Structure 1
Amino acid sequence: MEKNILNRILYFLGIEDENPVSTEDRADYEPYVNRPEIKPKGRVINIHQTSKNKMVIYKPASFDEVREISDEVKSRRAVIVNMEKLDKDSAKRVLDFMSGSIYALNGTVKKIGPGIFIFAPDNVDISGTAIEESFQEKSFLLK
C-alpha cells in the first residue's frame, strides 16, 4: 500500500510513470526522447570533392542557338545571354523559350542589363540588385 502511494506521489511530481514498466518488458521498451527538431539550413557539400561551377556567356545571332543555351542550363551551368545582336522578335522568342526552360528546371532568371539576362539552374544562387535598376536610379539623379 505504501508503495502504491509513493508511486502516485512520484507520478504527480512527474518523476515516475503511473504504470511502471516491469524489468521483463524493459528490453523491448525504448523511452521517447524529446529532442528539438533540427532543420537543415542547406545542402552541405565538401568543397574539395566538387568540380568548379562554370558560367557560360552566349551572344546568339539567331533563335536557332537557343537549344544549345538551354542544354547548358540543363547541365547545371549558369548562362549569361546577351541579345543585343538579335532583332526584337527573335530576342522575345529566345527569352520566352529560356524562361520556359528555366521554369521547368526550377531555376531563376535575372535581367542584368539592357538585353542581357542570366539564366541559372537551381544549384546556383543569384542575389543582389539588377544593374538595370541602378542605371535608372543614376539617370534620375542626373536630371
Structure 2
Amino acid sequence: MSMKGKFRNLFGLEDEEYEIVEEELEQESSAEAEPMRRSQRKEDKTNVVSLSSVQKNTKMVLCEPRNYNEVQDIADHIVNRRSVVINLQRVDNQQARQIIDFMSGTVYAVSGQIKKLGSQTFLCTPENIEISGNITEIMEEVDPEQRW
C-alpha cells in the first residue's frame, strides 16, 4: 500500500470515496433501470388491443346494383374490410353473373369469403370476418337459366 493509501486509511478518507462511488453506481443503475421499466411498459401497451375499437370499425354494407358499372364501388367496400350483402334482383342475369365473377376475384384477392344467401343475394366478407353455417335454398321449379 502506498503512502497516500495509508494516509487516507488513517483519516478515513478512503471509506468516504467508496461510499460516494457506491452511491453514484446505485443512482446510475436506477437511472438506467427506469427507462428499461418505461420501455417494458410501452411494449406491454403495444400488445394490448381494445375490443371496442375492433367492433367500431366493423361495418356491413347493403348493395343493390342496377348495372355492372357499380361493381367497382362494391369491391372498394371489400378492400376497405367491410362486409357486403349484394342483392342482384334489379339486374339481368348476364350482368349479375359478371358482378359475381368480379366480386369473387375481389374476395379472393383479400383472402375473404363469398356465400350465397338466397337465389339472388350474396354475402362477401374480407379476411377479418369469418362466416359460419349454411343457408339452404329450396328450389321451386326455377328456370335452370336463373340458377347460379
Residue-by-residue CA offset, 1:26-73 (whole Å, 9 max, x unaligned): xxxxxxxxxxxxxxxxxx842133324110000000000000000000
Q: What is the TM-score when the length of structure 2 is the normalising length?
A: 0.58
2:120 aligned residue: 115
Unaligned runs of 5+ in 1: 1-43
SS of structure 2 residue aligned to 1:49: helix
Q: How far 1:122 moved relative to its partner?
A: 0.3
Higher helix proportion, which one? 2
Unaligned runs of 5+ in 2: 1-47, 141-148
1:95 equivalenced with 2:105 (yes/no): no
Contact kept, 8 Å, 1:110 with 1:130, in 2: the verdict is: no
Q: Give the alignment partner of residue 48 of structure 1, picking from 49, 52, 65.
A: 52
Provide the C-alpha distance between the structure 2 equivalents of 1:112 and 1:131, rounded to a whole number of angstroms: 8
Provide the C-alpha distance between the structure 1 equivalents of 2:49 and 2:115, rounded to a whole number of angstroms: 26
- In structure 2, give the amino acid aligned to 1:112: L
1:81 aligned residue: 86
Q: What is the TM-score when the length of structure 1 is the normalising length?
A: 0.60
Which one has a bigger Cα radius of gyration? 2
SS of structure 1 residue aligned to 2:53: coil
Q: How far 1:128 moved relative to its partner?
A: 1.1
Cα RMSD (Å) of the superposition? 1.7
Q: How many residues align?
A: 92
Q: How far 1:120 moved relative to its partner?
A: 0.2
Contact kept, 8 Å, 1:58 with 1:82, in 2: the verdict is: yes
SS of structure 1 residue aligned to 2:51: coil
1:71 equivalenced with 2:76 (yes/no): yes
Provide the C-alpha distance between the structure 2 equivalents of 1:47 and 1:64, rounded to a whole number of angstroms: 37
- Percent identity of paired positions between Structure 1 and Structure 2: 36
